[in-house]
């Protein structure tokens, strides 16, 4: 709880710093806002001005002409190559950046000025500022609104995110002879505090994330009973949270044809119950570890590059891999008695294809497909069935090994852009097979996306 309060205080300080930024500073030029791959329609040339010598001396003519050119360039500024969530659903590392990609690496938001709205996934983001870029995004965490506030420049970026779902109830009941008080504290599923930091380091960049997430409703109570002769208290605390982080590096700053990133995620998944009862001078305390309490470690490595390329089209091939490991706590199982050792591990490979083509001056068509393969998974458990009999203890070991090919996912999308405006939309094969099921499946995976940009 203290960690969350400290992090929220940091978020408030960050917001104040953003508000106090001098808005009159000189604007930062950004090459990211004008990629060569998106050619906005050229405006019709303005009528030629009257010959300069008739209205002013010849040496003064170049200055007005330069000012007119600068104004025209600003008015016809090409939109940035930044895409919405509908782009690159297969996660190919060599594809252009999306809003989500840059929010995950805050320093890449530097120099951006845009607003993005996507109603299908309840997501929005805005970036603004001169010498340093400030950015804000809103999205959902379970049924709670998740807000992100961040600041970035070319050498460093940081952000803080939070979604709050907390409720405290105080109850008191008393008469002339006795009194009962009860305090109840509830934290809703989806309550999260998250901090991100990222910076370029020469040819590579470093990205770090820390988070504390409540993954299911968590209720703790404290009850006290008093009368003229006695006093009893009962405290019950439930813990259902994830505390973890991720560190990754990539070659984004220097990559030309082959893009890769590597990282590792650490998470403590807590699932426990603690009950303490005091009656006079007697105290009893029980602690129970849930069946799902574990430590989670996942190394990952993703790589992608161009395999076909034309003047206005290209095809990318990539491979995303991960190797999750889960080490479960010991716990008491009603069926298998005492489980001493239980862990799972695996290697997953997801090859992907991503293709895109520019059509005319205003259209960009893109699509991709990926294929999930559980190359190797293993589950191992050891438990004792007759642990009450020290002489006849029976240990059982079970190991399961699998290799399984999963689903193939295909999606297709399009982007329409003109001047400083862009719209993007995409659909996946599941949505196409049954379009009447809505924009998301039962697991809140978006099957159809639609969003729009305005660039500045």
pLDDT tens digits for range 317-329: 999 999 999 999 8
- Of the candidates 166, 250, 149, 160, the residue with the CA atom closest to the CA atom of residue 202: 250
Phi and psi at residue 22, in whole multiples of 5°? -70, 110
Taking a C-beta distance cutoff of 8 angstroms, is the pair 258, 226 a contact? no
Least confident of 24-38, 332-346, 370-384, 407-421: 24-38
Ranked by mean pLDDT, the top range of 25-39, 199-213, 334-348 is 199-213
* Average pLDDT estimate for 51-68: 42
pLDDT of residue 74: 32
pLDDT of residue 392: 64
pLDDT band, very low/low/confident/very high, at 50 (cuts 50, 70, 90): very low
Rg (CA), the chain: 29
pLDDT tens digits for range 266-290: 999 999 989 999 988 888 988 888 8
Rounded-to-integer distance, Cα 251 and Cα 260, Å: 6
Phi and psi at residue 37, in whole multiples of 5°? -80, -15
* Average pLDDT estimate for 5-30: 44
pLDDT of residue 34: 36
* Maximum CA extent, the chain: 113
Residue 226 backbone class (left: φ over 0; alpha: ψ -120 to 50; beta: rest): beta
pLDDT top residue among 394 and 210? 210
pLDDT at 83 over 90: yes
pLDDT of residue 378: 95
Taking a C-beta distance cutoff of 8 angstroms, is the pair 344, 327 a contact? no
pLDDT of residue 168: 92
Rounded-to-integer distance, Cα 297 and Cα 300, Å: 10
Helix (H), strand (E), coil (C) string for the chain: CHHHHHHHHHHHHHHHHHHCCCCCCCCCCCHHHCCCCCCCCCCCCCCCCCCHHHCCCHHHCHHHHHHHHHHHHHHCCCCCCCECCCCCCCCCCCCCCEHHHHHHCHHHHCCCCEEEEEHHHCEEEEEECCCCEEEEEEEEECCEEEEEEEEEECCEEEEEEEECCEEEEEEEEECCCEEEEEEEEEECCCCEEEEEEEEEECCEEEEEEEEEEECCCEEEEEEEEEECCCEEEEEEEEEEEEEEEEEEEECCCCCCCEEEEEEEEEEEEEEEEEEEEEECCEEEEEEEECCCCEEEEEEEEEEEEEEEECCCEEEEEEEEEECCEEEECCEEECCCEEEEEEEEEEEEEEEEEEEEEEECCCEEEEEEEEEEEEEEEEEEEEEECCCCCCCCCCEEEEEEEEEEEEEEEEEEEEEEEECCEEEEEEEEHHHHHCHHHCCECCCCCECEEEEEEEEC
Which residues, including other chains, have CB under 8 Å from residue 221's CB and lie 6 or more apart?
182, 183, 184, 185, 234, 235, 236
pLDDT band, very low/low/confident/very high, at 388 (cuts 50, 70, 90): low
- Of the candidates 415, 421, 409, the residue with the CA atom closest to the CA atom of residue 449: 415
Rounded-to-integer distance, Cα 234 and Cα 223, Å: 5
pLDDT tens digits for range 171-230: 988 877 788 999 999 999 999 999 999 999 999 999 999 999 999 999 999 998 887 778
* Average pLDDT estimate for 390-419: 87
Taking a C-beta distance cutoff of 8 angstroms, is the pair 90, 367 a contact? no
Rounded-to-integer distance, Cα 329 and Cα 62, Å: 76
Percent share of the chain, pLDDT over 90: 58
pLDDT band, very low/low/confident/very high, at 333 (cuts 50, 70, 90): low
Taking a C-beta distance cutoff of 8 angstroms, is the pair 357, 312 a contact? yes
Cβ neighbour number for residue 186 with a 10 Å cutoff: 17
Ranked by mean pLDDT, the top range of 1-5, 242-246, 432-436 is 242-246
User: Which pTM was predicted?
Assistant: 0.76
* Average pLDDT estimate for 390-412: 84
Q: Give the dihedral sign, CA 259/31/122/140.
A: positive
pLDDT of residue 370: 94
Rounded-to-integer distance, Cα 225 and Cα 285, Å: 18
pLDDT of residue 430: 59
pLDDT of residue 390: 59
pLDDT at 14 over 60: no
pLDDT at 31 over 70: no
Mean per-residue pLDDT of the chain: 81
pLDDT tens digits for range 97-145: 999 999 999 999 999 999 999 998 899 999 999 989 999 999 998 889 9
pLDDT at 448 over 60: yes
Rounded-to-integer distance, Cα 366 and Cα 358, Å: 9
pLDDT tens digits for range 290-308: 888 999 999 999 999 999 9
pLDDT of residue 423: 96
pLDDT of residue 289: 81
* Average pLDDT estimate for 43-67: 42
């Amino acid at each position: 709880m203290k960690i969350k309060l400290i992090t929220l205080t940091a978020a408030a300080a960050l917001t104040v710093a953003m508000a106090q930024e001098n808005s009159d500073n000189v604007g930062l030029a950004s090459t990211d806002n004008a990629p060569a791959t998106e050619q906005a329609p050229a405006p019709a040339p303005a009528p030629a001005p009257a010959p300069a010598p008739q209205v002013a001396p010849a040496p003064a003519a170049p200055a007005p002409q330069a000012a007119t050119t600068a104004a025209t360039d600003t008015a016809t500024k090409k939109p940035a190559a930044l895409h919405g969530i509908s782009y690159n659903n297969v996660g190919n590392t060599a594809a252009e950046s999306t809003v989500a990609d840059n929010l995950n690496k805050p320093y890449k938001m530097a120099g951006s000025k845009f607003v993005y709205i996507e109603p299908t996934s309840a997501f929005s983001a805005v970036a603004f500022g001169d010498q340093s870029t400030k950015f804000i995004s809103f999205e959902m965490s379970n049924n709670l609104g998740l807000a992100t506030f961040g600041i970035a420049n070319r050498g460093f970026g940081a952000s803080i995110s939070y979604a709050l779902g907390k409720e405290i109830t105080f109850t008191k009941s008393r008469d002339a002879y006795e009194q009962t008080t009860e305090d109840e504290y509830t934290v809703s599923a989806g309550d999260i505090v998250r901090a991100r930091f990222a910076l370029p380091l020469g040819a590579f960049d470093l990205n770090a994330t820390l988070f504390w997430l409540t993954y299911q409703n968590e209720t703790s109570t404290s009850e006290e009973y008093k009368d003229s002769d006695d006093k009893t208290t009962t405290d019950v605390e439930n813990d259902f949270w994830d505390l973890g982080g991720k560190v990754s590096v990539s070659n984004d700053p220097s990559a030309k044809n082959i893009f890769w990133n590597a990282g590792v995620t650490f998470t403590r998944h807590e699932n426990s119950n603690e009950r303490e009862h005091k009656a006079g001078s007697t105290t009893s305390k029980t602690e129970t570890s849930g069946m799902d309490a574990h430590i989670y470690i996942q190394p990952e490595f993703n790589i992608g590059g161009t395999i076909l390329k034309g003047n206005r089209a290209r095809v990318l091939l990539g491979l995303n891999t991960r190797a999750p490991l889960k080490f479960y706590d010991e716990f008491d199982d009603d069926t298998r008695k005492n489980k001493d050792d239980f862990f799972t591990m695996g290697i997953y490979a997801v090859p992907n294809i991503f293709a895109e083509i520019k059509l005319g001056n205003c259209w960009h068509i893109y699509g991709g497909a990926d294929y999930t393969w559980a190359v190797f998974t293993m589950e191992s458990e050891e438990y004792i069935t007759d642990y009450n009999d020290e002489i006849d203890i029976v240990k059982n070991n079970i190991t399961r090994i699998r290799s399984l090919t999963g689903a193939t996912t295909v999606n297709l999308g399009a982007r329409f852009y003109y001047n400083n405006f862009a719209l993007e939309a995409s659909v996946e094969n599941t949505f196409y097979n049954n379009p009447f099921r809505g924009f998301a499946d039962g697991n809140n995976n978006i099957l159809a996306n639609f969003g729009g940009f305005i660039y500045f």
